[in-house]
């Protein structure tokens, strides 16, 4: 187990949980990334928009790994990504670890949190 990564992950969860006043998990972090990448500020989103935000977040955080590339913004300002290579088969645990690492790197690279 990578204790350094796990400590940074727990610190990210704590900082954001404290900031938002409720417990934050991976899905909530992906939602926040999606909202950040959309760039339209906080507002109420419809159920299908929430799913789109999660998709944007997944594409964005996996972009540095070479799985997606930014393609364009549509007429409403929503980002679109193109798959660039197929994700390897990963167990549920491996998928969770990959996403956690990608989200943590996103928050660090964007300067949204510092360790």
Provide DSSP, the chain.
--HHHHHHHHHHHHHHHHHHTS---HHHHHHHHHHHHHTS-S----HHHHHHHHHHHHHHHHGGGTSEEEEEE-TTS-EEEEE-SPPPP--HHHHHHHHHHHHHHHHHHTTS---
Position 44 in a domain = yes
- Residue at 76 is within a domain: yes
Asked if residue 43 belongs to a domain, the reply is yes
Region 106-111: mean pLDDT is 90
Is 19 within the bounds of a domain?
no
- Residue 95, in any domain of the structure: yes
pLDDT at 24: 94
Residue 10 lies in a domain: no
Q: Is residue 12 part of a domain?
A: no
Tens digits of per-residue pLDDT, 32-45? Answer: 999 999 999 888 99
Provide the residue range defining the domain that includes 78: 26-109
Q: Look up the pTM and report it.
A: 0.90
Higher pLDDT, 114 or 90: 90
Q: Answer whether residue 30 shows pLDDT above 80.
A: yes
Instruction: Tell me how many domains the chain contains.
Output: 1
Which of the four pLDDT bands, split at 50, 70 and 90, describes residue 4? confident
**How much is the pLDDT for 104?**
94
Contact between residue 30 and residue 54 where contact means Cβ atoms under 8 Å apart: yes
């Amino acid at each position: 187990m990578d204790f350094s990564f796990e400590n940074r992950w727990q610190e990210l969860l704590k900082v954001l949980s404290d900031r938002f006043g409720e417990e934050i998990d991976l899905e909530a972090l992906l939602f926040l990334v999606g909202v950040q990448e959309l760039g339209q500020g906080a507002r109420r989103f419809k159920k299908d928009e929430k799913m789109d935000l999660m998709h944007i977040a997944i594409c964005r955080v996996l972009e540095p790994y070479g799985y997606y590339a930014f393609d364009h913004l549509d007429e409403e300002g929503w980002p679109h990504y193109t798959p660039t290579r197929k994700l390897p088969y990963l167990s549920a645990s491996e998928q969770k670890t990959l996403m956690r690492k990608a989200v943590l790197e996103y928050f660090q690279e964007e300067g949204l949190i510092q360790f």
